[in-house]
């Protein structure tokens, strides 16, 4: 049952029963506090440059006229 929606629901139930209703909030909070880079929010100019680069690269092939 691993890897199925039903299995995931059972895992959520088990984790909440064993570790408390706020289990997922706790692990999410820990992960957020560990982060040191700040992501794109720390450097808006870099985010703009990266978005421009990604936006100009097309995945579609050029149509011949």
pLDDT tens digits along 8-30: 999 999 999 999 999 999 999 99
Residue 20: inside a domain: yes
Residue 52: inside a domain: yes
Per-residue pLDDT at 54 exceeds 70? yes
Q: What is the tally of structural domains in the chain?
A: 1
Return d(Cα 24, Cα 16) in angstroms, integer.
8
Please tell me the predicted confidence (pLDDT) of residue 38. 72
Average pLDDT of span 37-59 = 83
Residue 61: inside a domain: no
Return d(Cα 2, Cα 17) in angstroms, integer.
19
Per-residue pLDDT at 40 exceeds 70? yes
Owning domain of residue 9 = 5-56
What 3-state class would DSSP assign to 64?
Answer: coil
Tell me the whole-structure pTM to 2 decimals: 0.50
Residue 16: inside a domain: yes
Return d(Cα 8, Cα 43) in angstroms, integer.
36
């Amino acid at each position: 049952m691993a890897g199925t929606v039903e299995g995931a629901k059972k895992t959520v139930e088990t984790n909440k029963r064993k570790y408390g209703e706020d289990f997922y909030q706790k692990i999410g909070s820990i992960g957020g506090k560990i982060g040191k880079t700040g992501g794109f929010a720390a450097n808006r100019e870099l985010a703009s440059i990266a978005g421009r680069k990604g936006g100009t690269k097309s995945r579609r092939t050029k149509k011949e006229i």
